[in-house]
Amino acid sequence: MATSTSVGEGSSASSERSIYDSNGWFGILSDLTKVFAPSSQDKKRTPQQRERGEEPRDSWKAKIAIIDTGILPKYHPNVIFKDFVDPSNDKSDGTHERDVDAKGGHGTRIVALLQKMLPDVLNDIHLYVARTFERRRYDDKPDDILVTRIVDAIEWVKSQNVDIIIMAWGFTYEEPRIRDAINGISRNTLVYVAAGNDSGHEPVQFPARMELDDICSPVIPIFSTTSYNKNATRINPPRMNNRPNFAILGENIDIVLTIKVPVTDKDTKKEETKKEEPEEEVEKPISHTLNGTSYSTAIAAGLAAYLIHFSRQPICRRQPGRELNLCHKETMGAVFAEMALRYVDQGYLCISPGHLLRICKDKCYKKGDSWDQLLREQRKAKMRDMLIAIVEDPRTVLDKDFYFTCSIC
């Protein structure tokens, strides 16, 4: 796929490693997500929920769809899977007969990143995976077969009423059928799309550049930052003029995948015997270092999922008329822009999740409170109030010089 890159399986990171480790970035994210975590009181069932056999968290779950190369099932036990490459692989219960993405490919890495970001709530998320790609890289223009798969996958995803769609891929040339399918997605769905990995040599790829043609398009292009929240110059295409260029971590991201690798046993088997027998495989943890806007797209989507999960908890529903609705491009964009206000680099809005926590603490201290002494529910209430203020008046953020103002579509 044109916008997915990584250092190869089991290989080491680039010698130009960032001065801050990406694991430190995830550590800062963890500090924020602890504030969002549901309390034990929130998890208690009401009598009506007990009667219906429901859990409170059932109504909080964000629904994420990934259109990519597939997934190894072990990386999310509750995935609903649809194979558009080999429909015979589908089972009626939404699982699949055979492993796809068997070598821990692009789609599995996207899910592994979500797992790294959302360890506390991943099982509280409905995950839909549409397999449309057989391999990671394609030509600049997709053929008719691939276009049909992608269009059919988009229609399937739409029918699932998901909150977030991840399209961590792109092409040089526009494909009208894919464009029309994307334009048909509900405006209450967040569509995160990789901007491209051509390091300034080529413009933003399709479908990410649909944002240039029409800012009311549902797509949200995502660029990459380094782990110290600067423009990842060796990854990003040139920024778009008069459009928000959201960027988030996409360089030197370490993950470990357990995948099947061939067993080598040269001492006990003769070469001709090995050729006749099926190749024996064993599961083995393999380190990967990921780079590219594909993975930034997954991280942006994961952050949005956490915010949506929080917005649906009881503490955010106790003020009638002031509910948090973050499943809209403009409202979530306002929150993302707030996280990037102090981190604009060469026109890229570099998202710092920890900034939300810093703002909330600052507001608390100005009122004479001590953040460290606040109870968990009090911290969540202050975070809720801050997010509601951002969403109720997004122009306070969106009217900044670096952000192109648009009407709600």
Q: Are 208 and 215 a contacting pair, CB within 8 Å?
A: no
Backbone conformation region of residue 152, classed left if phi is above 0, alpha if psi is from -120 to 50, else beta: alpha
- Alpha-carbon gap, residue 357 to 35, rounded angstroms: 9
b or e along 260-289 (b: 16 or more beta carbons within 10 Å of the residue's beta carbon)? beeeeeeeeeeeeeeeeeeeeeeeeebebb
Task: Say which range, 25-34, 46-55, 189-198, 303-312, has the weakest mean pLDDT.
Answer: 46-55
Query: What is 5-46+54-398's CATH number, 1.20.58.2240, 3.40.50.200, 3.30.1220.10, 3.40.50.970?
Result: 3.40.50.200
> What would you report as the CA-atom Rg of the chain, rounded to the nearest whole angstrom?
22
pLDDT at 3 over 50: no
Mean pLDDT of 346-358: 89
Handedness of CA 141, 147, 151, 156 (dihedral sign): negative
pLDDT at 407: 32
Backbone conformation region of residue 75, classed left if phi is above 0, alpha if psi is from -120 to 50, else beta: alpha
- pLDDT tens-place string over residues 315-347: 887 666 667 789 999 889 999 998 998 899 999
pLDDT at 107 over 80: yes
CA–CA–CA angle 289, 291, 295 (5° rounding):
105
Domain ranges of the chain: 5-46+54-398
- Computed over every residue of the chain, the mean pLDDT equals 78
CA-wise closest residue to 390 among 345, 356, 351, 347: 356
Q: Which of the four pLDDT bands, split at 50, 70 and 90, describes residue 5?
A: very low
Handedness of CA 75, 303, 164, 175 (dihedral sign): negative
Q: Are 206 and 181 a contacting pair, CB within 8 Å?
A: no
- pLDDT tens-place string over residues 116-161: 887 766 667 889 999 999 876 666 778 899 999 999 999 999 999 9
Q: Terminus-to-terminus CA distance in the chain, angstroms? A: 31
pLDDT at 404: 44
- pLDDT tens-place string over residues 243-283: 899 999 999 999 888 776 666 654 444 454 445 555 666 77
- Percent of the chain with pLDDT strictly greater than 90: 35
- pLDDT tens-place string over residues 202-249: 899 999 999 887 778 899 999 999 988 999 999 999 999 888 999 999
- pLDDT tens-place string over residues 187-209: 999 999 999 977 667 899 999 99
pLDDT at 399: 52
pLDDT at 101: 59
